Amino acid sequence: MTDDIRFVLEQALRAPSGDNTQPWRWVVRGESIELWNESSDDPLHTLYSGSRDNSQASYLSFGAAIENASVAATTRGYRAEISYFPDPACPLLIAVLALLKDPSVAPDPLADFLAARVTNRRPYRRVPLADAERAALLSATEDRALGEIKLLDDRQSVAKLATIASLHDELIFSIKRLHAYIFSHINWTRREDDRRRIGFYFPTLAAPPFTWGFMQLMRHWWFMRIGIACGLHRFISLEQRIIYRESGGYGIMLLPGDSPADWVRVGRLTERVWLAATREGLSLHPLNGVILLSLSVETEEGKRMFSRAQRQRLVEGSEGIARIFGVERGRIAFLFRVGRGRAPGGRTSRLPFERLVEVAAPLEHAARSPHER
């Protein structure tokens, strides 16, 4: 593997992914890089993601990783030519990136912010976005067929969106399997985080340090059951709603179409906006729970997991987001809050490069898929 390809992949691996699952595997074949879907088949994971073959949350993350790779490639004089789902018989092959040396390529200014981009779950200042900040976020999406962004920063809309987003917190703390899923992604100590290198290190959740002990109790379902009887899940949701209100504004990403490739494209767009926000000194926090869970309400898993009333609330929540932003239902892929806030209290880890990247022989000499070998 050349130094340039290694550099490009190192930047790709910095990309955000839902619950920091890093659901990818990368195969280098000469000058081409293949991106494979390694999402878990765990039914709980697929609840947030559709199914392994149609995993919207993972597709967004793949898009973010592809964007990181192509932004990084420009700094070494390459244009990344991307083929989405190039083999219809192989839906787990998400994309092939061909790196083409091109003297006309200029380094993308967003490349300087690949390392600094981070999820910030803290409260932000309630100051609406300045014109220049708004323009910077919107311009990150110019001239690209990757999707569309919409922003809102009036107080009434912010408050309504905060209320809808906090439904996810209520569900996490009141549904046993969802609670188990989320808590299984928290790493409580630096040591545990260094060992696992997926999921969230506790300080990245922006919970005040004194809640550590209480959270230790909340990870036990027997404790949560008592808590639920006393309305603890509603209290947590309210507390989160207050934090979500502390935002400069909210944004959504709209899909350019409804194919899996469109989810990947809008993931690229999302990462561009996130990098542009980072360049402006703005913090960003995805709040995608309600949107993703609402996609599953008609699936078997969704019907098993949620009561009729909960499914209804999820649908109303995602319809509400669309109404507030003035869009038709079904085209929103991503909801986030944005604003100026104190730096987050920690950063998530990443799996080691060697575990995620493999060098393979050119295709004529190789088996079709790493999964088949």
Ligand X SMILES: Cc1cc2nc3c(=O)[nH]c(=O)nc-3n(C[C@H](O)[C@H](O)[C@H](O)COP(=O)(O)O)c2cc1C
Nearest to 316 by CA among 160, 202, 86, 185: 160
Q: How far is the CB of 114 from ligand X (least distance, A)?
A: 11
Among 5, 8, 11, 20, binds ligand X (CB under 6 A): 20
Stretch that binds ligand X, among 23-31, 58-66, 107-115, 134-142 (CB under 6 A): 58-66
Per CB under 6 A, the list member of 289, 302, 317, 341 interacting with ligand X is 289
Phi-psi region at 156: left, alpha or beta (left = phi > 0; alpha = psi -120 to 50): alpha
Stretch that binds ligand X, among 94-102, 212-220, 283-291, 352-360 (CB under 6 A): 283-291
- Count of residues interacting with ligand X (CB under 6 A): 19
Q: Which region among 174-182, 237-245, 286-294, 303-311 touches ligand X (by CB under 6 A)?
A: 286-294
Taking CB under 6 A as the rule, does residue 68 contact ligand X? no
283 binds ligand X (CB under 6 A): no
The region of 18-26, 188-196, 239-247, 361-369 touching ligand X under the rule CB under 6 A is: 18-26
For residues 189, 194, 200 and 202, what is the CA-based torsion angle, rounded to 10 degrees? Answer: 20
- Residue 113 CA to residue 279 CA, distance in Å, equals 6
- Helix, strand, coil shares of the chain, percent, nearest 5, are 50, 15, 35
The H-assigned helical ranges of the chain are 3-12, 43-49, 56-74, 131-139, 155-172, 176-183, 190-196, 212-218, 221-229, 232-245, 260-279, 289-294, 300-305, 308-325, 353-356
Which of residues 200, 201, 244, 263 is near ligand X by CB under 6 A?
200
CA–CA distance, 151 with 251 (Å, rounded to integer)? 4
Taking every pair of C-alpha atoms in the chain, what is the biggest distance, in angstroms?
Answer: 65
Whichever of 39 and 74 has its CB closer to ligand X, that residue is 39
Q: Which is nearer to ligand X, 77 or 345 (CB)?
A: 345
Q: What SS3 state is found at 180?
A: helix
One of 82, 178, 287, 297 touching ligand X (CB under 6 A): 287
List the one residue out of 161, 162, 158, 136 whose CA is nearest residue 149: 136
Q: Does 149 bind ligand X (CB under 6 A)?
A: no
18: contact with ligand X by CB under 6 A: yes
Please tell me the distance from the alpha carbon of residue 259 to that of residue 147, in angstroms, as a whole number.
Answer: 12
Is 147 among the residues that bind ligand X (CB under 6 A)? no
CB of 290 to ligand X, least distance (A): 8
Nearer Cβ to ligand X, position 82 or 287?
A: 287
d(C-alpha 193, C-alpha 184), whole Å: 12
Span near ligand X by CB under 6 A; candidates 59-67, 302-310, 322-330, 351-359: 59-67
Element of type H or E holding 184:
none
Supply the minimum distance, in Å, between the C-beta of residue 146 and ligand X: 15
Asked if residue 67 binds ligand X (CB under 6 A), the reply is: no
Please report, as ranges, the residues that interact with ligand X according to CB under 6 A: 16-20, 57, 60-61, 64, 118-119, 121, 200, 285-289, 348
